[in-house]
Amino acid sequence: MIAVGHTSVGVIVGIAATQLLPDSWPLYVQVVVVGLAGVVSHYLMDLVPHGHYDFNGASPTAKSQLYLAIDLGLPLLIVAVICVIKFGLGAPSWLVAAGIIGAQLPDVFDGLLYRGFMANLSLAQAEQRFHLGTHWHNPTDKNKATPQGGRRLGFSDIWQAIVVVLALALLIRF
């Protein structure tokens, strides 16, 4: 999945939580619940067959860094601006932020693992195996895969774009 896909699902989880979670729950509890739901959303979304662009996480090239800035940084900036304008520092802003952070966490975690952080923790390795397992749809032919082994972006990835549009529409209309 490209990062903006997970970011969008995080936004949707955060907005849904403002409707679904009881107002009587303290905000910090809601933030934790939404963060966990965001993490779960990450694995669920990874289970859906999806493509990636070429990205070298072990030694990111200038091109990889540019992709990441556009894929991760730009949507975060746009969501942050919309949230601050619409909700200020109110509960929806916190819940959307929690949803996004949770939804990105597994990839951030594995990104750190690739660079050697926590690499010998058995729990970290178990997470990585599980996380890779959600990519059951990766090509077996290495020539058809990205350098990290994933499916390449293709027309079927239009669904990722639909999730992005849906999240933006929800956020703006909310």
Using the minimum distance from each CB to Zn ion, give the nearer residue, 82 or 110. Answer: 110
DSSP 8-state symbol, 113? H
Using the minimum distance from each CB to Zn ion, give the nearer residue, 93 or 146. Answer: 146
Rounded-to-integer distance, Cα 46 and Cα 67, Å = 19
Using the minimum distance from each CB to Zn ion, give the nearer residue, 25 or 115. Answer: 115
Report the interhelical angle of 91-114 vs 27-47 (nearest 10°).
Answer: 50
The per-residue b/e assignment along 128-144, b for 16 or more CB within 10 angstroms, e otherwise, is beebeebbeebeeeeee
Find the shortest distance in angstroms from Cβ 94 to Zn ion. Answer: 24
Find the shortest distance in angstroms from Cβ 7 to Zn ion. Answer: 12
Find the shortest distance in angstroms from Cβ 143 to Zn ion. Answer: 18
Q: Are 55 and 64 in contact (CB under 8 A)?
A: yes
Using the minimum distance from each CB to Zn ion, give the nearer residue, 79 or 113. Answer: 113
Find the shortest distance in angstroms from Cβ 53 to Zn ion. Answer: 11
Residues that bind Zn ion (CB under 5 A): 1, 46, 106-107
